Amino acid sequence: MDFGLSEEHALFRATVRDFVDREIRPVAIEWEHSGRYPAEIVETMKDLGLFGLTVPEEYGGLGADLVTLAIVFEEISRGWMGIAGILGSHTLSCFMIARHGTEEQRRAYLPDLATGARRTGVALTEPDAGTDLKGIKTRAVRDGDEYVIRGTKLWITNARYADPLPVLVKTDPAADPPQRGMSVLLVEAGTPGFTVSRDLPKLGYKGTESCEVALDDVRVPAANLLGGIEGRGMQQVLGGLEIGRINIAARAVGIAQEAYDQALEYSRQRRAFGRPISDFQAIQLKLAEMATKVQASRLLTWWAASEADQGKRVDIEAGMAKYFASEVAVENALDSMRVHGGMGYSQELDIERLYRDAPLMVIGEGTNDIMKMVIAKGLVSKRAVID
């Protein structure tokens, strides 16, 4: 067993960490509070090839393994989790197109998506359908060589920049079970009737937009049906969400690690009763718990990623990593604020941003209650992970 990174992985992590330290950390507090879009950071991510993480090399991408993907999202989230959001939905969408798209769709979209010349996201959630994707109401009706889409999508990351935007729709609302009537259509930017109606205000997760999207009789060529066959949308989305949960787990590890790092550093500098507060046992116990939980989260995430790299189904593994790491992110953010005392509550430090960003990891890509149900169902009906 080898629980360390390969030389190639370590070198890649050092490159991404240097980028984060140079270009993200110095501006994160100011830009996050002002709501400024990080256009310059996006350009550097293009130069580094990060938009091509899940695009195969034959289409100009990195064709990176999922351990590399986890490293990228952890490192960026340590600096500013909102920036990771710009890449998150993009990499998931690229994965879906690369895995399920027709050859024509791959050739049409993936080369530009790999360079960041095009960007993308995924439109799944609706006002009345979050966790229950089978309950979506957005419908696409075939009309000759086109589909006509009508509906509303909510909380869509990258909506203002997505081209194309994969949209989960019902092509056969009468199908039983409902997932057999669901498909994914690739909607290109500028298509008449496709409107980003508003940006949704958020507690955290700043830096990237989360939008409401209206589709009012949007006409999409039938050639833009992902994979070319109706009724496979739910299967395509769920396969992508397993990878998305590794992404979320890695982001959570980044938040948890940063919270611990800042707590440790502050405890060494802050003095009380004539000595550093790191000398006090109460602080030491918190630091020990935080560090242990970070490493456990990271190993769970790398384990899920490496299992997926071997071509295995990872619904249980990714669910475990996402569930555990996100809970640790929330706990570490609060414990770090406690170590900092009053300064942890100040907007002059990063702790309050970590505290606001962490809860999204508990909710994103399926709530943690859903994750526990996924894990339990897999353990009971399929296989035991723990041997």
**CA–CA gap between residue 202 and residue 29 (Å, rounded):** 16
List b or e across 71-107, with b for residues whose CB sees 16 or more CB atoms inside 10 angstroms: bbbbbbbbbbbbbbbbbbbbbbbbbbbbbbbbeebbe
pLDDT at position 381, please? 84
pTM over 0.85: yes
Give the count of beta carbons closer than 10 Å to the beta carbon of residue 385: 14
pLDDT of residue 2: 76
Known catalytic residues are: 365
CB contact at 8 A, 155 and 213 = no
Listed in sequence order, the residues at least 6 apart from 107 whose beta carbon sits closer than 8 Å to its beta carbon are: 59
Query: In order of start, what are the domains of the chain with their CATH numbers?
Result: 7-115 (1.10.540.10), 133-230 (2.40.110.10), 235-381 (1.20.140.10)
pLDDT at 130: 79
Question: What is the pLDDT tens value at each position of the chain, 387 positions in all?
Answer: 677 889 999 999 999 999 999 999 999 999 999 999 999 999 999 999 999 999 999 999 999 999 999 999 999 999 999 999 999 999 999 999 999 999 999 999 999 999 999 999 999 999 988 778 889 999 999 999 999 999 999 999 999 999 999 999 999 999 999 999 999 999 999 999 999 999 999 999 999 999 999 999 999 999 999 999 999 999 999 988 888 999 999 999 999 999 999 999 999 999 999 999 999 999 999 999 999 999 999 999 999 999 999 999 899 999 999 999 999 999 999 999 999 999 999 999 999 999 999 999 999 988 999 999 999 999 998 666 666
DSSP 45: H
Can you give the pLDDT at residue 384? Answer: 61
What does the pLDDT read at residue 131?
Answer: 78
Host H or E run for residue 215? strand 210-221
Closest CA to 144 of 216, 223, 214: 223
Return the number of other C-beta atoms located less than 10 Å from residue 128's C-beta. 11
What is the C-alpha separation between 12 and 19, in angstroms, rounded? 11
Q: What is the pLDDT of residue 385?
A: 62
Alpha-helix runs per DSSP H in 21-160 = 25-34, 39-47, 66-100, 103-115
